[in-house]
Structure formats: C-alpha cells, structure tokens
Structure 1
Amino acid sequence: MNAPNDTPILLDRNSESPLWAQFRDALRLQILQGVLPIGAKLPSEAELGEQFGISRIVVREALADLVRNNLIYKIKGRGAFVAARERDEDFVSTVLGFSDEMERKGRSVRTQVLAQQLRAPTPQEIQALGLTDDTQVVALKRLRSVDGELRLLVDTVVPADLAPGLHRMRLDDRSLYDVLRRQYGVRLVRAERWIDAVLPDAETCELLQLQQPEPLLRIESIAYGANGRRLEYYNALHRCKSSRLHVQTTT
C-alpha cells in the first residue's frame, strides 16, 4: 500500500495529530485518488500494524472511522474492503452545507469562487431575507465539483452585518458554513427549500461544461438561525445526471 507517487505512507510520531488519524487520512487519500480501487481488499489489522509499525488498536480505530464514513466496509471472517462511492446527496434535507455533507461521505469537493462582493441587495433578496433597503449583503457566486465532476453553480447572499469582512476572505475550496461557524459564530438551525427543474442558459452550460443543455435542478433556499432570523439565501443549479438528491422525512 503506497501513496500515489509510489512513496510509502509516512507517519509522524512527533505530530500533534494522533497516529490513528494520520493513518486514517493516508488510507482515505489513497481511496479517494483511486490508488485503492473500489472492491479492493485491505490487509488484515495485524498486517497493517506490522507494515506501518503501529498497534492493532491504532489500526482498528482508523478503520472504524473509515467504516463510519462509508469509505470501507467489513465482512465478518473475510476482512475490510473499499466501498463503492455514495451517489445520493442529502444536503437538501439537512442544515449541513454541501461541502460538509460531501466530506462526511468521503467525497472530494472543490470550490471555485467566481464572484465575491459587498453590495446592496436585490428586491428578491430583500424579500427572502427580510432586509431593509439600506442593508448590505455579501454576495458569492461559486462553482463546485465533486470528485472532479462539475456539479453545482450557486449564488449565495448573507447579510453583511452577520459576517463583517466576509467579502474579503479567501473562500476557494472552503465550506461557507464552516467559515460562518468558526469565524462568526453563526449557526444555521433550519432551512426552507424549493426545488424545480430548469434548462440552463448558455452561460451556465459554459460554466458547468455541458456539451449540450440538460435539465438541472434549481434549489432555492432560505436558512434561519435559532432566533428565527434569516441568515442565508441561495439559488443553486444542480447537475444530477450522475447522482440523486435524497430527502428523508419524519412524522
């Protein structure tokens, strides 16, 4: 089991990161990059421990985390295997951000910021977020891919008073929800979402690299904080030819 450039996995025993997490991350990278293909059988815990000079407890903890994140599965008496990648996407029915949900499933997400500015809100944004005419918003236009496939084009606005300086922050390949939580203490607790099907215009086709127009799912979302304030409004165009949106309901 070697890394993509054929160099062995190296674990830093002087690092603040625990060995099990380092080992998990190394295996995760090999799985995501296809070095360990779908269906591949992993060596036994004893073999892994001997190969990398770590205890079986460390190996077991790393493998358990990979199982929890659906990157591998175990068959009793046969061992651990690399799992097929989940294609269902649950972000529409949770308050997890797109990046957070994809990362939880072990998917590789890239985010390119196409536009990022501080500006006055449009009439639609004023109505969606319950703003006044003199309020400013931080507006983002982002292009997002999953495992190298362009998947999502998103226009997002956040009231500027919630996140001062957000319009100047580097957000490429970062989760907006994570930035809002960590930098500003902003937590989204619920959201309303509306979904319909649309045909993309020429600009959208170019950005998503569509050879020809194909139906996209348009997702409109208003997210709320614990006090009921509207914290985020977005419109997303989702290419779902190779995935499905999954919604779970309860009584």
Structure 2
Amino acid sequence: MWIDSVAPSTVDARNDGPLHHQLSSVIRQAIAEGSLPPGSQLPTEADVQARFGVSRSVVRQAMSALANDGLIQRGRGRGSVVAPHHEHHRAVQKMSGLSSQISTPDDVVTTDVLDFARSSDPRAEQALGTSDLIALVRRRSINGEAIAIIHTWIPRALVPGLEPADLTNASLHETLGTRYGVPVSAGHRQVRAIAASETLAHDLALSPGAPLLVLEGTSCDENGTTIEYFCTWHRADRVVFDVDANSDATEAPLSAQPRSGARAAQTPTGDVATMARDLADQARRLADTLSS
C-alpha cells in the first residue's frame, strides 16, 4: 500500500505548518507524481491515523481540502478515491483564446462577467498608452467547473457601447473582430506559477495557496498596435500549457516588448518555451508548501 512507503515523520507536530496541511501536501504530492493514479483507493482514516499518529479531525480536515480542490472523491461506505484526471490543453504560443482552444463537442464552455468598469492599472497604462481603460474580470468554466479567471484591460475608445452582457458566454477576441473590426493577430506572452490568493481561491473554488498557472501579456491588432493587456490565472490541476520548442539554431532573435501605440512583433516560440520551462515543477513545489 502507498502509505507504507511514507515515513511517519513526514507528518509531525515538529515540522512546519499545521498537521492537516502537512498530510494533505503528502497526498497531493503522491497524486501529482503518479504514486496515487486516478481511481486509486486512499487509505482509510484509521490507517492514516495509525501511520502518522494524528487525530481523526486532522485526517478529515486534510481530506476535505483535497476534495474541495477536486483531487479526491469521497463516498459514504466506499472511502475516498483519487478523482479522474480532467486535463485541458492550451497552446500558449497561439493567439486564439482559452475558450476556442479547449472547446470540444463533449465540453460546455461558459463565461461569466464578474466585473466590468472604468478602471486602470499601471502595467496596463504603460502597455496601452492611456489611462482611459475598461477593466474586465471574467470567469471561464467547463461543464460547470471554474478553471480560469481572466483580468483584461482595453482602451475605452476602442469598444464604444460594449456591455457586460456582450461578453457573457462569448469571446472578447471574437467580439473585437466581428463587432469592432479589430482582429487580434499578435502579442507577447509570459507564463509562471503562483499560489492562489484568498480572492482567486474563492473565485475558482480552491483552497488558498493552491497552485495556479498564469498567462500574462499583451495583444496587438493587424497593424501592430497594442489593444489589450491581460492576466489569466488557470487551475494547475485542470489546465496544461503546451509549447512547441525549436532548437537554438532555428530560433529567431527575441523581439522587444510591445510599446504602447506602436508596432509590436509576435514573440517567437522559443521565447515562450524558455519562459514556460519547469512550470510543472514550480506548481508541484507550490502545492507541497501551501501556506497555513
């Protein structure tokens, strides 16, 4: 049994962090590494108590956190099992949005507009060259499960008459192209791993500190003018970033960061590949060091 390979001292009051966080991290790591594959039966509460010398309440807190994050399924009379692995893939070097990349005949993709207001952000102002911006906060879900939170800033003058209802269950890029005649054709992207804040955890139905993958950057129109600044936080247990990498000999020179109101070349694939390196390891380490 998997639990027999885990040292009892792995969960101990002398270690850093509450016992239930230590225990959930041990199980979380085993799921991430494949030691507990989807469908695996987890040890009983009694087995876990005996192995680590913890109370029943500690075990139940740990299991509840894992269930809330969608990593395990709990059932009366049958114990807990590792949940099926639902992965959605996103090619970060492509300009198409999240909804178009992950949409399949078997998936229902929905978009809720959580906030829509005149607002600004120093990074967005610098990228877009104006402080007269509309700030959008959207939540994208698949089959009723939230998988991403999207913060977007766009120049207000670019989208006259735009309303929140126009973006409910709709694509912003598609709306820009068809309604406003502004096709999105290039951009710059950065990817990194972070721990979920209280707000992001609430909006994504996760525990605070859960690992997230962030895609951040700008988008440009066909003339190279920057028209969008965005940050998208993805659930690391649901979304996988795919990157096509080239050898150093075939990579083009790295382009400069887009300038506000100026022409901006699309970032080469190799740049994205470099920024995406080790994201899975970062996310795993974050999961193992959840803050109390």
Indicate whether the TM-score tops 0.5: yes
Aligned AA for 2:172?
L
Quick check: 1:154–1:237 contact (8 Å CA) kept in 2?
A: yes
Helix, strand or coil at the partner of 2:201 = helix
Structure with greater contact order relative to length (CA < 8 Å, sep ≥ 6): 2
Within-5 A mapping of 1:76-225:
87-103=87-103, 107-119=107-119, 121-129=120-128, 131-132=129-130, 135-167=131-163, 169-225=165-221
Distance 1:212 1:157, change over 3 A: closer
Within-5 A mapping of 1:16-95:
87-95=87-95
Aligned AA for 1:221?
G
Aligned mates of 2:137, 2:167 — CA distance in 1: 11
Q: Which runs of 4+ in 1 moved over 6 A?
A: none
Deviation at 1:202, TM superposition (A): 1.0
Task: For residues 51-107 of structure 1, give each alpha carbon's deviation from its aligned partner in whole angstroms, at most 9, with x where no partner exists.
Answer: xxxxxxxxxxxxxxxxxxxxxxxxxxxxxxxxxx98342242211011122236753
Deviation at 1:123, TM superposition (A): 2.0
Aligned mates of 2:139, 2:132 — CA distance in 1: 23
Distance 1:192 1:232, change over 3 A: same
Bigger shift: residues 180-189 or 236-245? 236-245
Aligned mates of 1:108, 1:169 — CA distance in 2: 19
Helix, strand or coil at the partner of 1:96 = coil
Deviation at 1:228, TM superposition (A): 1.2
Quick check: 1:91–1:98 contact (8 Å CA) kept in 2?
A: no
Aligned mates of 2:90, 2:105 — CA distance in 1: 10
Deviation at 1:150, TM superposition (A): 1.2
Aligned AA for 1:163?
V
Helix, strand or coil at the partner of 2:151 = strand
Helix, strand or coil at the partner of 2:100 = helix
Paired residues, number: 163
Quick check: 2:218–2:227 contact (8 Å CA) kept in 1?
A: yes
Helix, strand or coil at the partner of 1:153 = strand
Aligned mates of 1:106, 1:157 — CA distance in 2: 31
Gaps of 5+ in 1: 1-84
Q: TM (normalized to structure 2)?
A: 0.51
Task: For residues 128-167 of structure 1, give each alpha carbon's deviation from its aligned partner in whole angstroms, at most 9, with x where no partner exists.
Answer: 22x13xx411210011112322110111011112111224
Aligned mates of 1:113, 1:167 — CA distance in 2: 10
Aligned residue in 2 for 1:58? none
Quick check: 2:90–2:239 contact (8 Å CA) kept in 1?
A: no
Aligned AA for 2:96?
L
Identity of aligned residues (%): 29
Deviation at 1:126, TM superposition (A): 1.1
Quick check: 2:87–2:237 contact (8 Å CA) kept in 1?
A: no
Distance 1:168 1:146, change over 3 A: closer
Q: CA RMSD in A?
A: 2.2
Helix, strand or coil at the partner of 1:158 = strand
Deviation at 1:169, TM superposition (A): 4.6
Q: TM (normalized to structure 1)?
A: 0.59
Quick check: 1:116–1:138 contact (8 Å CA) kept in 2?
A: yes
Deviation at 1:207, TM superposition (A): 0.9
Gaps of 5+ in 2: 1-84, 251-292
